[in-house]
């Protein structure tokens, strides 16, 4: 009896062994490995300072975000979700009280700064106070995001309370600002400029070294409060403004990744050379170009001329073609396409500039130009001296406008003169960009407010109707009603008045060596950069 | 001679001042400013209050004459201010980048001199032979080809050849390590840029060496030396070359001075964190103080290099007196 059972026993045992091997192999591939140093490229020269509160460049975030904690953040497990946020230092995202005007955060205990000082609610409050109410002589780059904040208080060592002047849906997402590093209160009290040249954080990595213009290094924080992260022993960020250097570095495995994004040509080059040693992630980018006619100049003060220019542009066909050579992809309105507040395709197609029938659209454009007496319109398109995707979009637009008989010449200038021309109103039509970190549509679309409401709008138009809609939207906390208002706002800007033309949303293409695991792409190059969840499958 | 040196040093001061004043004015003619670039360069909108605070912080909201007088007063005390971009003293910014630029400049000079003088001499001595033609083609190639293009090609060549040999591409290190810390890593990084730059440098010097040698070899004293029965090697080394060196030394000096701060594109191609790249960054960011300081540094390097070359003349040619 026993002898007859042996073959079956062996079969079962072999089967179990195979199953164990297969399952353990799969478990190993999914289980993060600890160890290793990640070297990555930062596509810029050094940031102006190391202070997140005062700077606006991604070079700063890519360099120092790993050293710092924030109050709350985009979910690193799903950074593409534009509405879901998680706690970093907080224990849970609060539900507002007091008719939506009070947000009470409980702060995690046991967190320490690199110098061993315990982090308390006082540090969180002091940091946010510097952001929202910077003292004289202290620069806060995003102070205007928090105009609704009335006070930041700490009733006890574990609680931070934000009190608002009015209830609004934009506040909570804005707290997930990736630049909102939490600093030590005692350092801020002694010298509020200290963080410009120094690092003292409580994040997943401890600061080791910063060589000006060259590199920044960190090592694992053994006391990090989100165990088992970080997985890496350390990291090294190398500054390299030139794209060819970054691409070659990834090719030669001198660096594993560049987090901002590469153009399609670089992706294709690396994929062709390295095959499965390369992993590519793509995402819609919370950045898009917009075309702004100068409404203070003739003939752009005439809505018929503006509308004609908008109707001439075929984004539905231009997008797929341009995406092969430029970092653009998705057709969208003024709101980031991945957001619940964004227009659907049907809603877009009802607006000028998005009609599905381009011939009909261009015929209407020619009719409007004729009616306005601007049939042989000729003007200068001001553009910024940046290849991706400004110049590609500019060249494409000149061609699109030529199809309705408009002769546009492109004037490309460096960033400083570009800003100066916009601020002085010395241009006909300009190619701008609207780039934001957290997807916060109501805040992100402030850019479209009339100039007298929002100084950084360079269209130089007045539109009390638009301003009124925006104000209602800012104070609206019901998402359904907010969406209705956003549609009305967008229609007023784009379809009714053609104040601004939102162009193709950018496409973010991140190419990494395939052994880099754990990092997930999001819609912004500013977010999800603390490296805590990254591990190396080597 | 000391009086000569003192006079030349004192003459440097108005030269430096004039160059910096010119840059002061020219930079401020460019529309826009560093604060706009800093706050809005990423495409995000910025708070006008932040812009105003930035202007006040770096002082560009003050009248131009006030800024100019502050600059002059600082320059007189050898205080060139702080970088408007980083807030760090310009001395610190430049000091962090100068060593690597200097190292590449010195290495490129060594490469250039090692190639130019022997090849230029041989080319002159073997005039119109196939060797002469080959050297001249080599020299013209170096002058005609942009060094940054050679740089890009050299990187690609290294990547492709290493890939073919070892199965995976190799690239020189892209983060600088000082020579005394890790000589191999340091030399791996600077070798390619030094050779790239040195080739062009050598090409120019090679042609000058050739023409200077051709001229000297026709002189009567060379004929006399031959008639005396001196061996060729002695004639070339002791008589011809030494007399031909004057224009070569001048050229080498000017080229070396250019390398400090002039390797703008080469430093970008090789990701060298040097003075040239800092120059580009300063101009792009409209960092007035840093640009002014860098211009003054470049002028000073040119002036003092020329002084050194002039003093070297005295050693090379005892007939030259500094009075």
pLDDT at residue A416 in the model? 87
Distance from B276 to chain A by nearest Cα, in Å?
Answer: 12
**Mean pLDDT of all residues in A163-176:** 96
The least confident of A188-192, A501-505, B13-17 is B13-17
**Rounded Cα distance, A150 and B273, in Å:** 45
Q: Are strands A205-211 and A159-164 parallel, antiparallel or unpaired?
A: unpaired
3-state secondary structure B194-253: HHHHHHHHHHHHHHHHHHHHHHHHCCHHHHHHHHHCCCHHHHHHHHHHHHHHHHHHHHHH
Query: Using the beta-carbon criterion (under 8 Å), do B44 and A420 form an inter-chain contact?
Result: no
Which chain B residues contact residue A242 at CB under 8 A? 268-269, 271
3-state secondary structure of B14: helix
Interface contact flag, A248 B34, Cβ < 8 Å: no
Contact B47 A244 (CB under 8 A): no
| Identity of the residue in B40, B152, B271 whose CB atom sits nearest the CB atom of A240 | B271
Closest CA to A257 of A466, A458, A41: A41
* pLDDT value for B80: 86
What token pair was written down for A423?
């601020």
**A461: pLDDT strictly greater than 60:** yes
Contacts of A212 in chain B (CB under 8 A): 86, 88, 92-93, 96-97, 273
Residue of A nearest to B35 (CA): A416
* Candidates B28, B30, B31, B286, partner chain A, best to mutate (most A CBs within 10 A): B31
Nearest CA in chain A to B59: A137
Residue in chain A closest to B271 (alpha carbons) equals: A240
Helices A303-311 and A358-371: crossing angle in degrees, nearest 10, is 160
Q: How far is B37 from chain A (nearest CA, A)?
A: 6
Contact B39 A56 (CB under 8 A): yes
Nearest to A245 among B41, B86, B174 (CB): B174
**Residue-level pLDDT, tens digit, chain B, 323 residues:** 778 778 878 888 888 888 888 888 888 888 888 888 888 877 767 777 888 888 988 888 899 889 988 888 888 888 888 999 998 999 999 999 999 999 999 999 999 999 999 999 999 999 999 999 999 999 999 999 988 899 889 998 999 999 999 988 999 998 899 999 999 999 999 999 999 999 988 999 999 999 999 998 888 888 888 888 888 888 888 888 888 888 888 888 888 888 877 788 889 889 999 999 999 999 989 999 999 999 888 888 888 888 888 888 777 777 766 55
Distance CA A71, CA A180 (A): 8
Can you list the alpha helix ranges (DSSP code H) found in A57-175? 58-64, 121-132, 171-174
In angstroms, the CA B232 to CA B238 distance is 10
Q: Which of B33, B93, B155 sits opposite A212 (nearest CB)?
A: B93
For residue B30, give the nearest of A141, A417, A432 by CB distance. A417
Q: Do A257 and A274 form a contact (C-beta atoms < 8 A)?
A: no
**Of B26 and A102, the one with more pLDDT:** A102
Contact list in A for residue B99 (CB cut-off 8 A) is none
A440 close to A82: Cβ distance less than 8 angstroms:
no
Q: A416–B57: do the CB atoms touch at under 8 Å?
A: no
- A66 DSSP 8-state letter: G
How far does Cα A186 stand from its chain's mean position?
31
* pLDDT > 90? residue A203: yes
Task: Give the burial string for B217-232 (b: 16+ CB within 10 Å, else e).
Answer: beeeebeebeeeeeee
State the best of B30, B35, B43 to mutate against chain A, taking most chain A CBs within 10 Å: B43
- How large a percentage of chain A has pLDDT more than 90? 88
ipTM surpasses cut 0.90: no
The two tokens of residue A199 are: 């690092």
Distance CA A241, CA A359 (A): 42
- Residue B322: its pLDDT value, please? 59
The H helix count followed by the E strand count for chain B is 14, 0
Report CB contact under 8 Å: B174, A249.
Answer: yes
Q: How far apart are the C-alpha atoms of A321 and B30, rounded to whole Å?
A: 36
Which of A141, A245, A252 comes nearest B50 by C-beta?
A141
| Closest CA in chain B for residue A144 | B47
Mapped onto helix, strand or coil, the DSSP state of residue A86 is: strand
pLDDT in tens, A219-255: 999 999 999 999 999 999 999 999 999 999 999 999 9
CB spacing of A143 vs B159 below 8 angstroms: no
A31-48 mean pLDDT: 94
CB contact under 8 A, A421 and B159: no
pLDDT value of position B302: 87
Shortest CA gap B300–chain A (Å): 24
Q: Which two tokens stand for residue A420?
A: 């100066």
Whether residues A419 and B171 touch (CB distance < 8 A) is answered with no
A501/B33: higher pLDDT: A501
B174 CB neighbours in chain A (<8 A) are 238, 240, 245, 249, 254-255
Give B204 to chain A, closest Cα distance, Å: 28
pLDDT at A25 over 50: no
Helix/strand/coil (H/E/C) assignment for every residue in A456-491: CCCCCCCCHHHHHHHHHHHHCCCHHHHHHHHHHHHH
Scanning the structure block, which residue is given the tokens 């100019």?
B68
Written as six digits, the tokens of A310 are 């908008």
How far apart CA A248 and CA A424 sit, in angstroms, is 41
Cβ-contact B106, B177 below 8 angstroms:
no
Q: How far is CA A509 from the centre of its chain?
A: 13
Instruction: For residues A379 and B156, give the distance between their C-alpha atoms in angstroms, rounded to a whole number.
Output: 43
Question: Rounded to an integer, what distance in angstroms lies between the CA atom of residue A195 and that of residue A395?
Answer: 42
Mean pLDDT over all residues of chain A?
A: 93
Residue that the structure tokens 């890519």 belong to = A62
Distance CA A303, CA A293 (A): 10
Q: Could you give the angle at which helices B288-316 and B2-29 cross, rounded to 10 degrees?
A: 150
> Which residue in B26, B27, B40 has the most chain A C-beta atoms within 10 A of its own C-beta, making it the best mutation to test that interface?
B40
Per-residue three-class SS string for B63-127 = CHHHHHHHHHHHHHCCCCCECCCCCCEHHHHHHHHHHHHHHHHHHHHHHHHHHHHHHHHHHHHCC
Name the nearest CA neighbour of B36 among A320, A96, A416, A522.
A416
Is A181:A174 a contact under the CB 8 Å cutoff?
Answer: no
Chain A positions in Cβ-Cβ contact with residue B281 (cut-off 8 Å): 45, 213, 241
- Distance (Å, rounded) from C-alpha B21 to C-alpha B13? 12
pLDDT confidence bin for A24, thresholds 50/70/90: very low
Nearest Cα of chain B lies from the Cα of A143 at a distance, in angstroms, of: 7
Q: For residue B147, give how far its alpha carbon lies from the nearest alpha carbon of chain A (Å).
A: 16
Contact A203, A68 (CB under 8 A): yes
Query: CB-CB: which of A55, A139, A424 is closest to B53?
Result: A139
Please tell me which residue, A22 or B10, carries the higher pLDDT value. Answer: B10
How many CA atoms, within 13 angstroms, populate the side-chain half-sphere of residue B97? 28
Residues 6+ apart with CB under 8 A from B235: B222, B225, B226
* A-chain residue closest to B39, CA distance: A56
């Amino acid at each position: 009896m026993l002898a007859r059972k042996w073959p079956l026993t062996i079969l079962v045992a072999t089967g179990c062994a195979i199953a164990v091997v297969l399952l353990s192999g799969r478990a190993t591939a999914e289980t993060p490995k600890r160890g290793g140093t990640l070297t990555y490229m930062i596509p810029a020269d050094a940031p102006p300072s190391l202070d997140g509160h005062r700077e606006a460049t991604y070079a700063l975030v890519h360099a120092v975000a790993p050293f710092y904690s924030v109050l709350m953040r985009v979910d690193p497990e799903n950074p593409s979700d534009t509405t879901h946020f998680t706690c970093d230092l907080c224990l849970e995202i609060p539900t507002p009280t007091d008719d939506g005007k009070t947000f009470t955060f409980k702060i995690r205990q046991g967190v320490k700064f690199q110098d061993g000082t315990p982090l308390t609610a006082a540090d969180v409050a002091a940091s946010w106070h510097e952001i929202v109410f910077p003292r004289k002589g202290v620069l806060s780059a995003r102070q205007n995001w928090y105009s609704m904040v009335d006070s930041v208080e700490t009733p006890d060592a574990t609680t931070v309370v934000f009190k608002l002047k009015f209830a609004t849906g934009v506040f909570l997402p804005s707290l997930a600002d990736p630049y909102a590093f939490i600093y030590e209160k005692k350092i801020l009290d002694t010298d509020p400029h200290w963080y410009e040249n120094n690092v003292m954080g409580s994040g997943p990595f401890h600061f080791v070294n910063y060589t000006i213009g060259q590199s920044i290094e960190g090592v694992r924080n053994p006391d990090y409060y989100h165990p088992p992260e970080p997985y890496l022993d350390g990291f090294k960020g190398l500054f390299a403004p030139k794209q060819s250097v970054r691409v070659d570095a990834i090719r030669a495995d001198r660096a594993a990744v560049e987090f901002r994004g590469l153009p399609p040509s670089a992706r294709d080059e690396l994929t062709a050379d390295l095959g499965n040693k390369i992993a590519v992630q793509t995402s819609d980018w919370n950045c898009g170009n917009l075309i702004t006619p100068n409404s203070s100049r003739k003939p752009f003060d005439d809505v018929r001329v503006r509308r004609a220019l908008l109707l001439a542009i075929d984004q539905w066909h231009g997008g797929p073609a341009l995406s092969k050579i430029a970092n653009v992809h998705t057709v969208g309105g003024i709101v980031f396409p991945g957001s619940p507040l964004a227009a659907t395709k049907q809603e877009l197609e009802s607006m000028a500039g998005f009609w599905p029938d381009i011939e009909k659209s261009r015929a209407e454009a020619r009719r409007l130009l004729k009616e306005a007496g601007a049939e042989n319109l000729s003007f200068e398109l001001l553009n910024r001296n940046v290849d991706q995707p400004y110049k590609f979009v500019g060249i494409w637009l000149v061609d699109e406008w030529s199809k309705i008989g408009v002769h546009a010449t492109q004037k490309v200038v460096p960033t400083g003169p570009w800003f100066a021309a916009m601020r002085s109103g010395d241009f006909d039509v300009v190619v701008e960009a609207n780039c934001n970190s957290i997807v916060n549509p109501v805040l992100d679309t402030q850019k479209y407010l009339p100039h007298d409401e929002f100084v950084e709008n360079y269209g130089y138009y007045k539109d009390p109707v638009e301003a009124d809609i925006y104000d209602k939207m800012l104070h609206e906390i019901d998402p359904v009603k907010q969406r209705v208002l956003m549609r009305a706002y967008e229609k007023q800007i784009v379809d009714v008045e053609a104040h601004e033309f939102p162009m193709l949303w950018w496409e973010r293409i991140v190419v990494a060596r395939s052994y880099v695991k754990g990092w997930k792409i999001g819609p912004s190059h500013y977010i999800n950069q603390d490296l805590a969840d990254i591990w190396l499958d080597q | 001679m000391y009086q000569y040196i003192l006079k030349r040093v004192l003459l440097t001061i108005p030269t430096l001042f004039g160059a910096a004043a010119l840059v002061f004015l020219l930079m401020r003619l460019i529309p826009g400013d560093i604060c706009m670039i800093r706050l809005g360069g990423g495409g995000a909108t910025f708070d006008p209050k932040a812009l105003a605070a930035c202007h006040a912080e770096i002082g560009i909201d003050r009248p131009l004459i006030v800024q100019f007088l502050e600059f002059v007063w600082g320059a007189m005390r050898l205080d060139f201010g702080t970088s408007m971009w980083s807030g760090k003293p310009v001395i610190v910014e430049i000091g962090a980048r100068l060593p690597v630029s200097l190292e590449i400049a010195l290495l490129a000079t060594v490469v250039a001199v090692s190639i130019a003088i022997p090849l230029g001499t041989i080319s002159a001595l073997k005039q119109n032979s196939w060797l002469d033609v080959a050297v001249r083609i080599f020299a013209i190639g170096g002058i005609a080809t942009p060094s940054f293009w050679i740089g890009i090609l050299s990187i690609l060549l290294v990547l492709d050849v290493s890939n073919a040999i070892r199965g995976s591409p190799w690239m020189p290190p892209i983060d600088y390590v000082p020579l005394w810390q890790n000589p191999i890593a340091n030399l791996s990084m600077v070798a390619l840029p030094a050779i790239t730059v040195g080739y062009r440098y050598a090409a120019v010097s090679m042609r000058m060496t050739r023409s200077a040698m051709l001229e000297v070899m026709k002189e009567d004293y060379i004929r006399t030396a031959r008639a005396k029965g001196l061996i060729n090697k002695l004639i070339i080394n002791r008589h011809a070359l030494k007399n031909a060196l004057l224009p070569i030394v001048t050229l080498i000096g000017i080229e070396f001075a250019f390398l400090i701060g002039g390797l703008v594109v080469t430093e970008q191609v090789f990701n060298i964190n040097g003075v040239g790249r800092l120059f580009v960054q300063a101009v792009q960011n409209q960092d007035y103080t840093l640009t002014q300081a860098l211009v003054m540094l470049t002028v000073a390097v040119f002036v003092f290099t020329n002084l050194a070359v002039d003093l070297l003349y005295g050693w090379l040619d005892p007939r030259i007196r500094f009075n």
